[in-house]
Each structure stands twice: as structure tokens, then as C-alpha cells.
Structure 1
């Protein structure tokens, strides 16, 4: 099975490539310019699965709308060469401040340009003729602002009830396994939340990793919980209990990155 990953040089790609459990071609922006249609069609010829991790994230200079363009170009090229299923990466950011269990068929309310652009990308993909699945990705340990962004003196929001914000998380090796298994799945839906089941407190992750942090009072804009409903994903993937615990996620992150 030939698998191609576009955007392999990004933070997520660098984290996943060493632990991805099947052979794959990881292409960075130095390897291919997705805006070059001829080069992209050549790269996708003969593929059975394509993961497009290429995109624009907050903090850069590129417009967020580039996420729509890169996804569209990938789908167009895949259709031109009759490539296999395309997986596009969206984000839990499309849910914004929606409360409760966040399901694929429930409401969305992105709060920032990044989430708005990702939601527009999803809508474009839903209208495209080439087979594709959009993955609404939760926090990935090591590519996140908590474990991946920790520095001495790190301050973390504490909510009025004394807890820290809860998020849907997944370890990098666990995510690699999930993506690898999705390559082989049939009858995939057009949209799927991707995270380990349940949520974990950010403070618990830092404690499990023995990373000291300072509490700060959560501001009005702090979202207390982002809980992805993973029942659709669990029709295709079986998780271990440890995949959802702070200790298990940290162990996965350490094994993947060599962090101590």
C-alpha cells in the first residue's frame, strides 16, 4: 500500500514520522510545492491513501484561507490521477465555545480565523467529488501548547472550581496507529473527530510529566472543556484505557520524543 503524507515537515509530521507503523512517503515543502499542480499529480500517482497535513497555523504570516486552497489542490490532484482516499486535517477549533460532547453532526462556532478557515475547508471538502475524510483533530501531545510548549515558569489557567481546563488528547504514537488503521478501513465517513476517548486536565498532564507550572486565574475567554465525541472513530479503532489517561499520554509522548 502506497501512502503519501503532505506537510511532513511540519510540527505534527515531524512528531509522527518516526513512529508511523507502516511505510509512507513523507513530503515536506522542500520536496514539493503543493501549488505546483504537475508536481503534485506526479507525487500522488499510484497512491492508495493521502494525508494532507500541510496547512497554516496561527502565529505565521500566511493568511488562514491558505488552508482551504492547499486542501482543494490536494483533492483536485488526487482526482486527476485517480489516487486513493484523501485525509484532510481540521481541528477541534471549529467547535469554539460549544459545550458538552462535541459531535461531528452537532453545532460549530469557531472563535478565531484559524477555526473559521478550517470549517470553510471542511465545507469545500464535503462538496468535492474525490473520496475524502476530514479529521477534526484534538490536542496531540508534543504538538500542543502544554507538553510541547512548556518552559520554566509556565503558567496555566485555573478555573473557579480549582481545576485546570480539560481537553481531548491523543499521544503521537497512538495517533500514528489510528491513522495507519484508517488507511485500511472501508466505508469511512466524510467527517470524524480524532482523539483518545474522554478528556484530560492540562494540569494533570504537566504533573504526570513532572513539569512544574504556576497557577493563574482563568480569564473570561478561557474555555473550560473541549470534549470531542469519539464514537464514530471508535467504530474503526479500539483504544486501550491508558490511551486516555494523563500517565498513558505522557508515556506515549516520552517514548516518541525521548523527553525525560
Structure 2
């Protein structure tokens, strides 16, 4: 049983859903994020339920520079979801932030966890570590990331496993390779949010490539279920895929979004971008065996839930989709 846990990236898309689920189970949650509650609109919106719960304690901290020992001390489990996301910006000068946040921040968190005797770390990795694949990716497949973002996520994942494999380490680690997570609170730059926004506003969707590229979309509630299961897994160092159950083309996604919203999705085709792989798909065998994980929310239902959330956003938040 978990009594007190840390969630890094608590104000983010997946992190805030995880926080809500943990609090609903009566777990005391320490939430770490660079975005300060009360001063950042996204943090305020994503953590609106959490901040009124006496079991939740938020901290505004940067993993790469701030002192972490005090906040992880006495915690049984650390869920490490904080990261700089996004494939395309990682090619630019912004890569410095990817290295500081995804790599250095993870290293400093691991050092603090080791010093404070934390038992279990669950780290959010990514399907981006695989690179191009011509079949569903298995956890023991070679990793070949094709973007700086993917490289930074692989480095963070491997750091966690290295610390868990130390002979003198009190820490065990499970790295979860998430496959394209979507749902309410999703970042506006991600595919499903952009597709739905185009459907409701008539602003053309910028589609990179010809639409044949395939992605395995995974609903955020399923991701949270797998993440909680990973905290209970009897393993010292493990890697597990977390997928949505099916890989679909972008054109199929657009058609499904049209069915969900009852609106056409206008599209503007542009060239494929560096770092975009032709397809992602997860082999679910290990997740089923180790975590008892089966995705429960299909694409149609998940799209409907995200669409319902999107149409109720404030004007300020909707502006993020056009920026």
C-alpha cells in the first residue's frame, strides 16, 4: 500500500490525471512541477481538484537545480513524469532544456531517491526510443531514436535502470514506454487536440506527410492504470510498453474525429518533419503479463471524451491551440 508518494510533472497532462487518481484512492501526494500553482493558468486548471484536497502538497521546483532530498524523504514511491516533451522543437537550440530537464533533472532525482531510501521509481519513457519499426515494438528490440527528444528520453530511462541495477541500491525502477497519450488536458500541439480543434473551428489542420503514417493512440486513463500497476510490480529493473491496443493512420484518425464531432476536418498537407517515424505500434505481451494491463478505452470513446473537454475550455485556453 502506498501512503505517501511523489509525482513529478504533477501539473502536466498525464501527471495531473495521475495525481487525481492517487488522491481518489486516499494516497498522500507530493506534487512537483516547475509551474507554480496560483501563478500559472495551466497548473491551476489541471490541478483544480487536487489543490482543494488536504492530501495534496504542491511544490514549485526545478529538478535540474533545486534541492530534492526533503521532498522525496519518507516517500515509498516516486512517479517521475516531468520532462520536456515534443519532437520538433528538440532539433533547435532548445535542446539545452531537453538535456537539463530530461537527463540532468532525472539524474538529480535519482541521487535524491537513493540517498533517501525510496523503494520504487516509475519513470515515464516514450515509444520515441524505438525509432522506425516495421512491426509492433517489443521491449527487447534495439532502440534507435531518430530525434533529439527520443535520445533524451532513452537517456533518462537508462539512467533509472542503471541506478536500480546497482548492487547497493535501495531503489527499484520500472520504465513505461508510453505510446502517444491523448485525452482531456492533452497539450494543444499534439495530433488529436489539433484534429479536434480543426473540426470545431474550421481552421485547417496542418498534416505532416500524406496521412498514411500510423500511431498507436493510448487514452490517458489507461496510462494512469498501467502506471499505478507498475508501482506494485515485483521487479528490480523493468521496461514495459503501454499502448492503446491498435495502430491507426492519421487519415483514419481524421475520419474518426469527423464521426465523433459531426464535422469535417479541413486539412493542409505539408512535408513530413525530421524525427517523425512512419509508424508506432506496441507489442502488449509484457504489459499483460507483468501489469495485467489491457486498454479499456477505444479511440472513438476517447475522442468523444476529449472533444467534450475541448468544447468547454475557456477562451484563454483555446487560444493555446492557435499559438
Query: Which TM-score applies when normalising by structure 1?
Result: 0.83
Whose radius of gyration is greater, 1 or 2? 2
The structural deviation recorded for 1:219 is 4.5
**Correspondence for 2:191 among 123, 127, 146:** 146
Equivalent in the alignment of 1:193: 241
Query: What 5-or-longer segments of structure 2 have no aligned partner?
Result: 37-58, 198-202, 313-323
Report if aligned partners of 1:5, 1:26 keep a CA contact under 8 Å in 2: yes
Q: Kindly tell me: are residues 74 and 212 of structure 1, through their superposed partners in 2, closer, same or farther at Cα, counting changes over 3 Å? A: farther
Report if aligned partners of 1:8, 1:27 keep a CA contact under 8 Å in 2: yes
Report if aligned partners of 2:81, 2:123 keep a CA contact under 8 Å in 1: yes
Equivalent in the alignment of 2:229: 181
Report if aligned partners of 2:17, 2:224 keep a CA contact under 8 Å in 1: no
The structural deviation recorded for 1:216 is 5.4
Report if aligned partners of 2:72, 2:112 keep a CA contact under 8 Å in 1: yes
**Correspondence for 2:7 among 5, 18, 21:** 5
**Correspondence for 2:70 among 42, 46, 61:** 42
Q: How does 1:61-210 map to 2 (within 5 A)?
A: 61=94, 63=96, 64-66=98-100, 67-128=102-163, 129=166, 130-142=171-183, 143=186, 145-150=190-195, 151=197, 152-156=203-207, 159=210, 164-187=212-235, 189-202=237-250, 203-204=252-253, 205-210=256-261
Equivalent in the alignment of 2:302: 249
Q: Kindly tell me: are residues 169 and 252 of structure 1, through their superposed partners in 2, closer, same or farther at Cα, counting changes over 3 Å? A: same
**Correspondence for 1:234 among 288, 294, 300:** 288
Q: Kindly tell me: are residues 26 and 209 of structure 1, through their superposed partners in 2, closer, same or farther at Cα, counting changes over 3 Å? A: farther
Q: Kindly tell me: are residues 254 and 213 of structure 1, through their superposed partners in 2, closer, same or farther at Cα, counting changes over 3 Å? A: closer
Query: What 5-or-longer segments of structure 1 have no aligned partner?
Result: none
Equivalent in the alignment of 2:321: none
The structural deviation recorded for 1:217 is 5.5
Higher helix share: 2
Secondary structure of the residue aligned to 1:134 is strand
Report if aligned partners of 2:77, 2:118 keep a CA contact under 8 Å in 1: yes
More moved, 210-219 vs 119-128: 210-219
Deviant stretches of 4+, over 6 Å: none
Secondary structure of the residue aligned to 2:132 is coil
Distance (whole Å) between structure 1 residues aligned to residue 269 and residue 310 of structure 2: 32
The structural deviation recorded for 1:110 is 1.1
Report if aligned partners of 2:213, 2:279 keep a CA contact under 8 Å in 1: yes
**Correspondence for 2:85 among 34, 45, 57:** 57
Query: Which TM-score applies when normalising by structure 2?
Result: 0.68
Distance (whole Å) between structure 2 residues aligned to residue 208 and residue 178 of structure 1: 29
The structural deviation recorded for 1:87 is 1.3
More moved, 116-125 vs 180-189: 180-189
Distance (whole Å) between structure 2 residues aligned to residue 254 and residue 84 of structure 1: 39
